[in-house]
Amino acid sequence: MKVVVKHWHAVAQWRWDTGNAEPADDDGEDVCGICRVPYEGCCPSCKMPGDDCPLIWGECTHVFHMHCLLKWIGTAASKQQCPMDRRTWVTAERKIGATTST
């Protein structure tokens, strides 16, 4: 039997490399603790997910949409603390995994 490919559809999926091998959430998606939108979605101020609405990593290992975290850190009430553990927020260098290409 000879198979001839007449046409094909490419399907791609992307996910932020948060350092977690698998999403922890039951729905299969991790969410930003501030806006509760999946990391792969975008913060409430943005329309398009992706590089324009990136994630931000803290040295405390907590991850948020960058825009959400910056809104919080920009308030006096935040005292510049991580919303999760109230440690002083220090942005971590983003670790690029070995398998991640840019």
Of 8-16, 17-25, 49-57, 82-90, which part binds another protein (CB under 8 A)?
82-90
* Of the residues 34, 40, 60, 66, which one makes contact with another protein according to CB under 8 A: 34
Least spacing, CB of residue 83 vs another protein, in Å: 4
37 binds another protein (CB under 8 A): yes
Classify residue 84 as exposed, middle or buried by CB count within 10 Å of its CB (0-12, 13-18, 19+). middle
- Helix H segments across the chain? 66-73
Main-chain dihedrals φ then ψ at residue 70, nearest 5 degrees: -65, -35
Could you tell me how far CA 86 lies from the centroid of its own chain?
20
What residues make contact with another protein under the rule CB under 8 A?
Answer: 33-37, 44-45, 68, 71-72, 75, 77, 79, 83-84, 86
